[in-house]
Structure formats: structure tokens, C-alpha cells
Amino acid sequence: MYLAFLLAAIDPNLYLVLASSLIIYATYTLDRALDNKEDEVNHQEYAGANRLASLAACGVAILIGVSIFFSNRLFSPPVFPFAVGILYSQGIPFKGGTVKLKGGFGVKNLVIGLTWGGTIGLVILSSGQVLAGMVIALYFGIKLFINSTIFDLKDVKGDLAAGIRTLPVVLGETKLKYLLFSLCIFQHLILALAMWADILVSYEIFFLYSLIASAMVIVFYAPAWETSPSLIKRKFRIFVINGEPIILVLLSMIRPG
């Protein structure tokens, strides 16, 4: 969210950055706290966790996050991800059954990309910058689609056990990487054109690091690295994916002008 403000040449509203973080935390924790069969295999360390405490934390986070958004007269950004999160993890009753998004081929990754890219884009759109909001939504949506799919690579065993047809399960590692690399190139081509056309701030360091980080994790990362004796390999995915926004924020602080 902070980076989106910078790209759109808007003074960052740290309260909205905090509110976005709380809503994201609540949405993901809600999915983990409720029925999540793949975690029984992929994340056995969650066994015995206090679900009531998790749900209570979700409630507090939602209350604070929504209050901040509403006080800034922004109503759709907090409601949109929460609604999609419920539809994804729990579903809604329909004709005697339950309709939910979880379990479809690549649907989880699309939901993550659309939800967070869309939420960030909605905040920028509220400032009146329609084109900037659309490009930012597309950029972050694809970024999160790619990153969530890379995370799925290490969870194939649990996803198979839970009957979840993720992209790695269906496509296999090689085809998946061709798909993700193609999306990475498309994503950064759109970003470059938007910067060239002055829709977004011309931010070369952001563009280069974003491209390099995404390409590196797509090309080099392998699930076997998770259990490698090498600390660098074991932490590669976490550092590159989770560390990217932190590094981009730090780079923005030393950016001329």
C-alpha cells in the first residue's frame, strides 16, 4: 500500500497502510483459524493452536482496520477482501449446498491477486487517479499471483492430500515456471509503459529490483531448497519474496527527489 502511494505520487497515508495491514492479517488468519485441511500436512506446527485466540485477534484487527478506512470515507477497500475471504474459505449457502472458491485449479492464486491488487487499486482510485489505480491493481495483482504460486510449490504434498488442485499440482514445476515468467515479463512491460506515459512515477530502481526479484525466484527456486543444508537456499524464498517490499521501501527513501 505504501509503495502504491509512491507510484501514484500520493503522500502516503500511514493510517491507511496500517489499516490495510490489519485487514490482510485478519483475512489470512481467518482462513488459517477455520477449516484448512492442507495445513494438517503442510504446517503441522499449527497443531494445537488456539483457534479462539486467532478469531479474537481477527475481530480486533477487523474492527480497527475498518474503523480507519471508514473514518477516511473509504468503504469498499475493507469490505472487498473480507467478503472474498469468506467466499474463498467458507463459502455461501446455495441451493442446498455451499459455493466457495477454494479448491479450484489456480483459483486460490487468482483470488489472492484479485483481492489484494483490487484492494490496493481501490484506495488509489479513491484519489481520482483512475488509470494509476488500474495499473497498480494489475501490477500488484500479478505480483501476488506469482508469489502465492511460488509458495504453493512447497505445499504440493498437503494440497494433494486435501484434494486441492493448485497450479503446481496440475502443471508441474517446469510448465509452471514458464507461465510465471511470462506473467512477470507482461507485468513489468505494463509497469514500464505506465511510467513512460507518466501514469505512474518514473521509478527506475523500483522497476529494476521488482523485475530482478521476481525473475530470480521464478527461475532459481526449487522446493527441495526448503530442506537444504544450505541456510541461503532454505531462506531464499522468504528473503526474496517477503523481503522485496521492505527493500523497495528502503530504496524509496534514498531515491533522488
141-199 residue pLDDT tens: 999 999 989 988 887 777 777 677 788 888 888 999 999 999 999 999 999 999 999 99
Dist. CA 233–CA 239, nearest whole Å: 10
Predicted pLDDT of residue 93: 61
DSSP secondary structure letter of residue 36: -
Element (H, E) at 120: helix 107-125
At 73-95, the pLDDT tens digits run 998 888 888 777 777 766 666 56
Q: Is 215 a member of any domain?
A: no
Rg (CA), the chain: 19
Q: Is 154 a member of any domain?
A: yes
Strand partners, 99: 92
Q: Is 64 a member of any domain?
A: yes
The residue segments making up the domain with residue 100 are: 2-180
Extract the C-alpha cell encoding 232.
541461503
Predicted pLDDT of residue 131: 95
Q: Is 241 a member of any domain?
A: no
Q: Is 75 a member of any domain?
A: yes
Domains in the chain: how many in total?
1
Q: Is 249 a member of any domain?
A: no
Phi, psi of 94 (to 5 degrees): -155, 115
Dist. CA 208–CA 75, nearest whole Å: 34
At 218-246, the pLDDT tens digits run 999 988 888 888 988 889 999 999 999 99
